[in-house]
Chains A and B, each alone.
Chain A
Amino acid sequence: MTSDLTPGERRDVMRQLWRAAGLQEDEQRLDLQTGAFDGIIGIADRLRAADVDEYEPAPVFRPLEVY
């Protein structure tokens, strides 16, 4: 994802994601999610900018001394 897409490109991206997720075709819902596009990519961009080189994914909290 990138924040410099045009509104039309954003809608196209969302449509492809929508189909890939297997959701029912629904133009009104697609409109709503396209409207949320900035929020989604904003979060993704902030997360991607984090320096996490030292960290593996933590799928869950599990103190090693316990498990």
Chain B
Amino acid sequence: MDPAFVSLAEVARQLAAKVVSPVDLTQLMLDRAAALQPRLNPFITLTPEAALEAARQAEREIVSGHYRGPLHGVPICLKDIVDTRGVRTTCGSKILADNVPTRDATVTERLVDAGAISIGKNNCSEFALGPTNENYHYGPARNPWDTERVSGGSSGGSAVAVAAGLAYAAIGTDTGGSIRIPASLCGLVGMKATYGRVSRAGVFPCSWTFDIIGPLTRTVEDAAIVLQAIAGYDRRDPASAGRPVPDFRADLERGVTGLRIGVPSNYFFDGLHPEVEAAARTAIEQLRQLGAAVEDLTLPHVELARDAHTTILLAEAANAHLTWLQTRPEDYCPDVRGRLETGALRLAVDLIQAQRVRALFQAEVAEAMARCDLLVTPGTPYPATPIGDSDKPINAIVGNVIFAMPRMTSVFSVTGLPAMTIPNGFTQSGLPIGLQLVGRAFDESTVLRAAHAYERAAGWYQRHPEVTDGFSDGATRLGRSKGV
């Protein structure tokens, strides 16, 4: 197998066994990233010197017997909204184009402590506001399955880097689907843990009460490895949960026998691309055949939850940006500026009403989850759309692209529950399709367990985009490093 597309878990085993060198692995990723940047645009900043220095340190530690764990020596990347000390963090904006943080985000600190090697900062929607990653200032992050199509957003660059084999994992942020949407559109695993599970400290706020940081990876086990490193209480984050962090890989092989899976029959199957709907229904049947008990249910207030999400997100984002919106509005790209203005014009009574609807929907989903271990829905209503089509209507039910893409994911941001999307096949034209699994609060383990079972049965994770031409020296390079 092309070493660039080996799973994080497998490359970790090779690193621990000293079969491959962190330095060679990092150089391979840097070479690929530099070569594919013009085609795919997944990075705003690459940090080759710092990455190689960190890789050399990791190599010294591993060789001397100081192995830190499965991220030690593994090249990763971070969405450019996550603070990195001494490395510019633009948030995909002109306003922060020269922003160089003096302190790492907590997530960055934890990844560094785990020995991960950051090779750079990923392209994203400006200030994480937008589901397509068509960045006005830095250009679109292009989908490696079809470079004329969007990668999804807002963590699009993170998804592109992992899908194209430029890193073994990436960090994204999710406010209404910004991890799960690009994961779906790029054929990846994307995980939003329970709100409060992962510290937001040092990550520019999009919406304080929805934001969560999480991994984009090529396999479910890889997501569990990254989540393990970044989860846990942090006093720098006032919303951080003081809940013990379980071993997220412990239950991966338990299968789905005995699990009760609820399938919301209203809203989530309306207005879908036919191949997305067919793939979701096939996956649900496959989960049943694997041993899960599947039942249909309804979530009567889900449309209102969507309205509540829109209202709360835009009001909180407008508050976070109000000073810049007042003093330098022309520095925002037009669509982001429009969304922030819309948020600034909402009335306080409507924000409070939206928060009450959030409570209503949380109770409704909690009632459903009392009968089910998981909910399953499609990941997005449509596969990746052409770049430049964001304002075009898809159909009367799901609306235009910007509004349609978060349709499946944003309502579960309202609940704060853990949710992840996993690969669920491809359209006839070769575009990835995603499947979403939602679990109970702080029960990421069951979500990961079911996702892993489906992933292994379906096998979609084994397909990768054709971006490997010109990189045949990867195996040779890694072969040289045997016995480091």
Contact = CB atoms under 8 A, between A and B. Distances in A.
Say whether A associates with B: yes
Interface of A: 1, 14, 17-18, 21-24, 26, 29, 32-33, 36, 40, 43-44, 46-48, 50, 52, 54-63, 66-67
A46 B304 contact: yes
B196 interface: yes
B341 A33 contact: yes
The majority secondary structure among interface residues of chain B is: helix
A57 B355 contact: yes
Nearest to B328: A24
Nearest to A46: B307
A1 B347 contact: yes
Interface string B290-317: 0000000000010110011011000000
Q: Tell which of B239, B242, B303, B354 has the most Cβ of chain A within 10 Å.
A: B354
The 8 closest A-B pairs by CB, nearest first: A61-B416, A57-B355, A58-B359, A55-B359, A52-B356, A21-B344, A60-B209, A17-B345
A14 B338 contact: no
Contacts of B239: 60, 62
21 contacts: A23-B341, A23-B344, A32-B338, A33-B342, A43-B310, A43-B350, A44-B311, A44-B353, A47-B308, A47-B353, A50-B357, A50-B360, A52-B360, A56-B359, A57-B358, A58-B358, A61-B196, A61-B362, A61-B417, A62-B239, A66-B442
A19 to B, nearest CB: 11
A33 to B, nearest CB: 6
A36 B441 contact: no
Given A23-B329, A32-B338, A47-B308, A57 B344 contact: no
B243 interface: yes
A17 B347 CA distance: 9
Given A36-B342, A50-B304, A59-B355, 14 more contacts: A21-B318, A23-B341, A32-B338, A46-B307, A47-B311, A50-B301, A52-B353, A55-B356, A55-B357, A55-B359, A57-B358, A58-B358, A60-B208, A66-B243
A54 B318 CA distance: 29
B352 interface: yes
A48 B345 contact: no
A26 B345 CA distance: 14
Nearest to B238: A60
Nearest to B442: A66
Contacts of B353: 44, 47-48, 50, 52
B363 interface: yes
Interface in B366-409: none
A29 B344 CA distance: 13
Size category of the B interface is: 35 or more
B209 A59 contact: yes
A54 to B, nearest CB: 8
Nearest to A32: B338
Nearest to A37: B345
Contact of A14 (B241, B242, B345): B345
Given A40-B346, A47-B353, A24 B359 contact: no
A59 B238 CA distance: 13
Contact of A24 (B303, B322, B329): B329
A54 B357 CA distance: 10
B458 interface: no
